[in-house]
Amino acid sequence: MSPTVLAVHGWGFHAGFWQGVLERLPDFGAESVDMGFYGEPRLPKVSRPLILAHSMGLAWALAHIPRPWAGILAVNGFTRFSRSPQFVDGVPPRLIERMLARFDEAPAQVTADFLTRCGVDTPDTSAIRPEPLKAALSWLESCDERTTMKMLPCPLQALAGASDSIVPPAMSMACFPPEHLILAEGGGHLLPLSHPDWVAAQLRLFAARLA
């Protein structure tokens, strides 16, 4: 029997982000985390879940979801985002600093601009909750879950987009061992939305290895 999937969205999104993938897995038990960027936060209690995490959702899961886990399928994910002398493939810290500097004045626009860069055509940020979004953005600036990932005893699979402008391939390769990383040619930062069939198929394959 396959473990229950616990799906975790990234910054600027909500639990509904995973709907397209989970609809393709009707035979899987599944729950979704909601970080509360648009409504009340939700962290379901799942025993030994298969973590399905997008973008910042992976680092957030590593920091906030209790173990043990059955496995991790990271999609466009990362264990550290901001560049440092020990992580040269991260994004320049000034990019997050600029978002934070503008956030109090224009939270909806900052969030919409980011979602547009991700590949969302017409982002609707009218119902955002600025406080949790800003707190998560501040956390993203300094989070570093690389050691946590290395210490986890559960299996790992990572999917990344070869054309991802938010988490470029170099960052993916710096976060994950090459034998656990699959690059989708032409894929961007929103593989669960642009390639839901492929992501669902990869999860099925991965879950079969855990049975």
| Domains assigned to the chain | 5-80+144-210 (3.40.50.1820)
Amino acid 2: pLDDT? 84
Q: Look up residue 21 and give its two tokens.
A: 């993938």
Q: How many CA atoms within 13 Å lie on the side-chain side of 14?
A: 16
Whole-angstrom Cα distance, residue 33 to residue 143?
A: 19
Amino acid 62: pLDDT? 98
Cα-Cα-Cα-Cα dihedral sign, residues 80, 139, 196, 115: negative
Amino acid 75: pLDDT? 99
Amino acid 167: pLDDT? 98
Gap between the terminal Cα atoms of the chain: 6
Q: What is the pTM of this model?
A: 0.97
pLDDT in tens, the chain (211 residues): 789 999 999 999 999 999 999 999 999 999 999 999 999 999 999 999 999 999 999 999 999 999 999 999 999 999 999 999 999 999 999 999 999 999 999 999 999 999 999 999 999 999 999 999 999 999 999 999 999 999 999 999 999 999 999 999 999 999 999 999 999 999 999 999 999 999 999 999 999 999 7
Percentages of the chain per state (helix, strand, coil), in multiples of 5: 40, 15, 40
CB 183 within 8 A of CB 160: yes
**DSSP 3-state of 81:** coil
